[in-house]
Amino acid sequence: MIVEHLAQNPILWTIFEKIFGADKQKEAIYRSAVEFKKSLLDFGCSSGNITGAFLDFDYTGVDTDKKSISYAKKRWASYKNVKFICTDILGKRFNRQRFNYILFAGTGHHLSPVLFIPITEKLINLLESNGQIWFYDILKPNKKNHFLAHILAAIDRGKYIRTYSQYKRIFKKIKGIKIIESKTIKVSGTLIPQEDYCFFRLAKK
């Protein structure tokens, strides 16, 4: 599949995302949750396509894709406050580290239910006592969405595109977590009509 082939090359994937992925709109949406500029963990950072929105943070990007992390390190090498780590978040690498904010964006629809819950539980444990998780993800298109949004969802590499209600039910089931804010976001001003997004601001109970 063409999308799968592009995803294997971080440079091509970055170009693809800029054309079809609405990166600028995503940066604005993701940044809109910011209250204070402190430490940030970007879970599932890929090749650093959204890193530019958080250059004034103590930023740590994490992903399991070695090629993407290698490319991200070169791409943002001039920023001393930015670092990237290739590791499994469920491993021991971050057990002693804590963050003010965790960005969990555009990754949820790649995670099966078996992985989604333990990963969310791990992320909530990586927060400072007053920290927050900012969860964003594309939503399963409905009849009101443009037909091109349906096509984007169909070719997406993620196999677990969910509805807003499904995500809300999942978060309510997870112990030790509370939903501070949640909403649906419509992406506008893009060349290609996009899927709607959901946003959940999460914190420790």
pLDDT, one tens digit per residue, over 138-159 is 898 666 654 454 455 454 556 8
175 with 99: CB under 8 angstroms?
A: no
Q: Which domain holds residue 167?
A: 2-204
| Per-residue model confidence as pLDDT tens digits over 184-197 | 987 665 556 567 88
What's 199's domain CATH number?
3.40.50.150
Q: Model's pTM, two decimal places?
A: 0.80
For the record, the structure tokens of 61 come out as: 């990007």
> pLDDT value at position 196?
84
Split into its structural domains, the chain has a count of: 1
Cα 95–179–162 angle (5° rounding)?
Answer: 90
Residue 108's closest CA among 53, 60, 168, 178? 168
- Whether 205 and 178 have beta carbons less than 8 Å apart is answered as yes
**For position 189, what pLDDT does the model report?**
57
Write out pLDDT tens, residues 14-70: 544 554 444 566 566 677 766 667 899 999 999 998 899 999 999 999 999 999 999
- Contact criterion met (CB below 8 Å) for 42 and 51: yes
